[in-house]
Protein backbone atom coordinates (compact mmCIF):
# COMPACT_ATOMS: atom_id res chain seq x y z
CA UNK A 1 0.00 0.00 0.00
CA UNK A 2 1.26 3.48 -0.88
CA UNK A 3 0.28 5.74 2.03
CA UNK A 4 0.47 9.34 3.19
CA UNK A 5 -0.82 11.43 6.11
CA UNK A 6 -2.57 14.67 5.19
CA UNK A 7 -4.78 17.51 6.27
CA UNK A 8 -7.99 17.83 4.29
CA UNK A 9 -8.87 21.26 2.96
CA UNK A 10 -12.29 22.94 2.78
CA UNK A 11 -14.29 23.16 -0.45
CA UNK A 12 -13.98 26.97 -0.70
CA UNK A 13 -10.19 26.61 -0.55
CA UNK A 14 -10.31 23.99 -3.29
CA UNK A 15 -12.45 26.35 -5.39
CA UNK A 16 -9.93 29.19 -4.99
CA UNK A 17 -7.07 26.88 -5.98
CA UNK A 18 -9.07 25.56 -8.95
CA UNK A 19 -9.47 29.17 -10.10
CA UNK A 20 -5.69 29.64 -9.89
CA UNK A 21 -5.23 26.50 -11.98
CA UNK A 22 -7.71 27.83 -14.57
CA UNK A 23 -5.63 31.00 -14.87
CA UNK A 24 -2.43 28.98 -15.31
CA UNK A 25 -3.91 26.55 -17.87
CA UNK A 26 -3.94 29.32 -20.46
CA UNK A 27 -0.18 28.84 -20.70
CA UNK A 28 0.94 25.86 -22.70
CA UNK A 29 2.99 24.35 -19.89
CA UNK A 30 3.80 20.67 -19.57
CA UNK A 31 2.17 20.39 -16.13
CA UNK A 32 -0.07 17.74 -14.59
CA UNK A 33 -2.60 19.80 -12.62
CA UNK A 34 -3.97 18.38 -9.38
CA UNK A 35 -7.65 17.44 -9.58
CA UNK A 36 -9.77 19.40 -7.12
CA UNK A 37 -10.93 16.28 -5.26
CA UNK A 38 -7.29 15.31 -4.64
CA UNK A 39 -6.16 18.60 -3.06
CA UNK A 40 -4.76 18.28 0.47
CA UNK A 41 -1.78 19.29 2.61
CA UNK A 42 0.66 16.41 3.00
CA UNK A 43 2.07 16.12 6.50
CA UNK A 44 4.12 12.99 5.80
CA UNK A 45 4.47 10.81 2.72
CA UNK A 46 5.03 7.23 3.84
CA UNK A 47 5.37 5.41 0.52
CA UNK A 48 4.98 1.66 0.24
CA UNK A 49 3.73 0.42 3.60
CA UNK A 50 2.63 -2.95 4.94
CA UNK A 51 -1.13 -3.17 5.47
CA UNK A 52 -0.44 -4.47 8.97
CA UNK A 53 0.80 -0.97 9.96
CA UNK A 54 -2.49 0.84 9.21
CA UNK A 55 -3.81 0.34 12.76
CA UNK A 56 -0.54 1.55 14.30
CA UNK A 57 -0.48 4.57 11.99
CA UNK A 58 -4.08 5.41 12.89
CA UNK A 59 -3.22 5.23 16.60
CA UNK A 60 -0.13 7.36 16.00
CA UNK A 61 -2.22 10.07 14.30
CA UNK A 62 -4.71 10.03 17.17
CA UNK A 63 -1.92 10.31 19.77
CA UNK A 64 0.06 12.98 17.90
CA UNK A 65 -3.01 15.19 17.52
CA UNK A 66 -4.70 14.48 20.86
CA UNK A 67 -4.37 18.04 22.19
CA UNK A 68 -4.57 19.83 18.85
CA UNK A 69 -7.48 22.03 17.89
CA UNK A 70 -8.34 23.16 14.36
CA UNK A 71 -5.53 25.11 12.68
CA UNK A 72 -6.30 28.46 11.02
CA UNK A 73 -4.34 29.56 7.95
CA UNK A 74 -4.88 31.63 4.80
CA UNK A 75 -3.93 31.00 1.20
CA UNK A 76 -0.81 32.85 0.08
CA UNK A 77 0.84 33.44 -3.33
CA UNK A 78 2.00 30.69 -5.65
CA UNK A 79 5.56 29.43 -5.76
CA UNK A 80 7.56 26.44 -6.98
CA UNK A 81 9.95 23.75 -5.76
CA UNK A 82 12.90 23.76 -6.10
CA UNK A 83 13.13 27.08 -7.99
CA UNK A 84 11.73 28.97 -11.01
CA UNK A 85 14.63 27.92 -13.27
CA UNK A 86 13.95 24.21 -12.66
CA UNK A 87 10.37 23.95 -11.38
CA UNK A 88 9.08 20.51 -10.41
CA UNK A 89 6.09 21.41 -8.23
CA UNK A 90 3.76 24.43 -8.41
CA UNK A 91 2.13 25.21 -5.08
CA UNK A 92 0.11 27.73 -3.08
CA UNK A 93 1.63 28.98 0.13
CA UNK A 94 0.01 29.42 3.51
CA UNK A 95 0.18 32.04 6.22
CA UNK A 96 -1.26 32.03 9.72
CA UNK A 97 -0.72 29.18 12.16
CA UNK A 98 1.96 27.52 10.05
CA UNK A 99 4.14 26.78 13.09
CA UNK A 100 1.29 24.65 14.44
CA UNK A 101 1.25 22.76 11.13
CA UNK A 102 4.99 22.18 11.52
CA UNK A 103 4.50 21.03 15.11
CA UNK A 104 1.97 18.39 14.02
CA UNK A 105 4.31 17.30 11.22
CA UNK A 106 7.20 16.95 13.73
CA UNK A 107 5.07 14.84 16.07
CA UNK A 108 4.04 12.58 13.21
CA UNK A 109 7.63 12.36 11.94
CA UNK A 110 8.83 11.21 15.36
CA UNK A 111 6.08 8.62 15.52
CA UNK A 112 6.61 7.16 12.06
CA UNK A 113 10.33 6.84 12.77
CA UNK A 114 9.43 4.84 15.88
CA UNK A 115 7.40 2.56 13.60
CA UNK A 116 10.48 1.95 11.44
CA UNK A 117 10.01 4.46 8.63
CA UNK A 118 13.11 6.18 7.29
CA UNK A 119 13.56 9.80 8.37
CA UNK A 120 12.20 12.48 6.04
CA UNK A 121 15.15 14.13 4.31
CA UNK A 122 13.45 17.42 3.41
CA UNK A 123 12.33 19.98 5.96
CA UNK A 124 8.57 20.37 6.31
CA UNK A 125 7.29 23.38 4.40
CA UNK A 126 3.50 23.77 4.51
CA UNK A 127 2.08 24.17 1.02
CA UNK A 128 -0.77 23.02 -1.21
CA UNK A 129 0.44 21.40 -4.42
CA UNK A 130 -1.59 22.42 -7.46
CA UNK A 131 0.63 21.08 -10.26
CA UNK A 132 3.52 18.75 -10.99
CA UNK A 133 5.85 19.75 -13.80
CA UNK A 134 6.48 16.98 -16.31
CA UNK A 135 9.86 16.11 -17.76
CA UNK A 136 10.88 18.26 -20.68
CA UNK A 137 9.32 21.47 -19.38
CA UNK A 138 11.55 24.49 -20.01
CA UNK A 139 10.16 27.56 -18.26
CA UNK A 140 9.90 30.71 -20.29
CA UNK A 141 12.04 33.66 -19.12
CA UNK A 142 9.05 35.35 -17.46
CA UNK A 143 7.81 32.15 -15.76
CA UNK A 144 8.21 33.57 -12.23
CA UNK A 145 6.40 36.77 -13.21
CA UNK A 146 3.56 34.75 -14.75
CA UNK A 147 3.15 32.82 -11.50
CA UNK A 148 3.17 36.06 -9.51
CA UNK A 149 0.50 37.50 -11.79
CA UNK A 150 -1.99 34.90 -10.55
CA UNK A 151 -3.73 36.56 -7.63
CA UNK A 152 -4.52 33.93 -5.04
CA UNK A 153 -7.24 35.29 -2.71
CA UNK A 154 -6.30 35.09 1.00
CA UNK A 155 -9.07 32.58 1.63
CA UNK A 156 -9.25 31.28 5.20
CA UNK A 157 -8.19 27.64 5.42
CA UNK A 158 -9.37 25.76 8.49
CA UNK A 159 -7.64 22.43 8.96
CA UNK A 160 -9.87 20.40 11.26
CA UNK A 161 -8.91 16.77 10.65
CA UNK A 162 -5.90 14.61 9.85
CA UNK A 163 -6.35 11.66 7.53
CA UNK A 164 -4.42 8.58 6.52
CA UNK A 165 -4.73 7.97 2.78
CA UNK A 166 -3.88 5.22 0.38
CA UNK A 167 -2.72 6.43 -3.02
CA UNK A 168 -3.23 4.19 -6.03
CA UNK A 169 -1.28 5.36 -9.06
CA UNK A 170 -3.15 4.94 -12.36
CA UNK A 171 -2.47 6.17 -15.92
CA UNK A 172 -5.23 8.79 -15.41
CA UNK A 173 -3.68 10.06 -12.18
CA UNK A 174 -3.69 9.03 -8.53
CA UNK A 175 -6.79 7.78 -6.77
CA UNK A 176 -6.88 8.55 -3.04
CA UNK A 177 -8.81 6.43 -0.56
CA UNK A 178 -9.18 7.57 3.05
CA UNK A 179 -8.29 4.81 5.47
CA UNK A 180 -8.69 6.74 8.72
CA UNK A 181 -9.68 10.20 9.86
CA UNK A 182 -8.92 11.97 13.16
CA UNK A 183 -10.70 15.23 13.97
CA UNK A 184 -8.78 18.09 15.58
CA UNK A 185 -10.76 19.08 18.67
Tell me which residues are annotated as active site. 40, 127
> Would you say 4 and 38 are in contact if contact means Cβ atoms under 8 Å apart?
no
Q: What are the backbone dihedrals phi and psi of residue 74, each rounded to the nearest 5 degrees, phi first? A: -135, 150
Q: CA-based Rg of the chain, rounded to a whole angstrom?
A: 17
Compute the distance between CA of residue 36 and CA of residue 34 in angstroms, rounded to an integer. 6
Positive or negative torsion for Cα 115, 53, 127, 156 = negative
Compute the distance between CA of residue 150 and CA of residue 35 in angstroms, rounded to an integer. 18
Amino acid sequence: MRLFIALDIPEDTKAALADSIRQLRQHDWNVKWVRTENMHLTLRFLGETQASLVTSLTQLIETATLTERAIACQLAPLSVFPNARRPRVIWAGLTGETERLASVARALESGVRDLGFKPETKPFRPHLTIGRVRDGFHPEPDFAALLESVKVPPVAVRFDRVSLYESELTPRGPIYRMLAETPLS
